[in-house]
Chain A
Amino acid sequence: GIQVEQSPPDLILQEGANSTLRCNFSDSVNNLQWFHQNPWGQLINLFYIPSGTKQNGRLSATTVATERYSLLYISSSQTTDSGVYFCAVVEGGTSYGKLTFGQGTILTVHP
């Protein structure tokens, strides 16, 4: 099956700093989503981005499908950005809902 690798595994920032999270995947994908898991476990949809670039406030994401990677940018980080960020993909040719998750990036933002 498809492999999804996220880096870095851990990231510690001071409030106001910018960061880039990376997601590499081993095969073609039909779907790629970025999620933020808050301290209570809720997965919050950040981006549905199988290709191209999207922006939402301080967050933006870029997926280069031909090179099999995606990047999540967080600008002017805030303490509320802390949590785990997951990249998840649906492998090409498989059922649309069967997401394979990366191991996540644990982000800690200090005031």
Chain B
Amino acid sequence: GAVVSQHPSRVICKSGTSVKIECRSLDFQATTMFWYRQFPKQSLMLMATSNEGSKATYEQGVEKDKFLINHASLTLSTLTVTSAHPEDSSFYICSAPGRGVWEQYFGPGTRLTVT
């Protein structure tokens, strides 16, 4: 199956700072990637769709100025959490469609803790 990586796997930052999370498709190209958020003991919620070469599409209720998404190449999407606050602490997971388009493959996730 397709392989998706994320970096870093874990990050702790101080309130008010910004954090960048990278999502890479390792053995395939992805013109579209997706960012999800998961709170402890809860399900995954789609935050936004990352589109290579164009603006990201955000789900209702997600602040686009807080969660900046850049899809600079066919294998890399980045999510920047700007001016992070403790309530932004969460598990962030990206996904990309494999060669079959419909099937999604997920990265290992990034656990963000804002102190």
Q: Which A residues are within 8 Å of any B CB, using their own CB?
A: 30-31, 33, 35, 40-43, 45, 48, 50, 86, 88, 90, 95-104
CA distance A89 to B32 in the complex (A): 17
Q: A48-B100, A90-B102, A97-B104 in contact; A41/B91 too (CB < 8 A)? A: yes
B59 → A minimal CB distance (Å): 8
Q: Does B44 contact A (CB under 8 A)?
A: yes
- Selected from A31, A40, A43, A102, the residue in CB contact (under 8 A) with B106 is A43
Cβ–Cβ < 8 Å partners of B101 in chain A: 96
CA distance A98 to B36 in the complex (A): 10
By the criterion CB–CB under 8 Å, are B1 and A96 in contact? no
- Selected from A31, A42, A102, the residue in CB contact (under 8 A) with B43 is A102
By the criterion CB–CB under 8 Å, are A99 and B46 in contact? yes
CA distance A88 to B42 in the complex (A): 14
Q: Is the interface of B mostly helix, strand, loop or mixed?
A: strand
Cβ–Cβ < 8 Å partners of A35 in chain B: 106
Q: Does B67 contact A (CB under 8 A)?
A: no
B55 → A minimal CB distance (Å): 15
By the criterion CB–CB under 8 Å, are A43 and B102 in contact? no
Cβ–Cβ < 8 Å partners of B103 in chain A: 31, 33, 45, 48
- B71-115 Cβ-contact flags toward A at 8 Å (1 or 0): 000000000000000000001010101001111111011010000
By the criterion CB–CB under 8 Å, are A96 and B43 in contact? no
By the criterion CB–CB under 8 Å, are A98 and B46 in contact? yes
Smallest CB-CB A-B distances: 8 pairs: A43-B106, A48-B103, A41-B109, A101-B43, A31-B102, A101-B44, A42-B108, A103-B43
Cβ–Cβ < 8 Å partners of B49 in chain A: 95, 97-98
CA distance A103 to B101 in the complex (A): 24
- Selected from A30, A86, A104, the residue in CB contact (under 8 A) with B102 is A30
Cβ–Cβ < 8 Å partners of B38 in chain A: 41
Cβ–Cβ < 8 Å partners of A43 in chain B: 44, 93, 106, 109
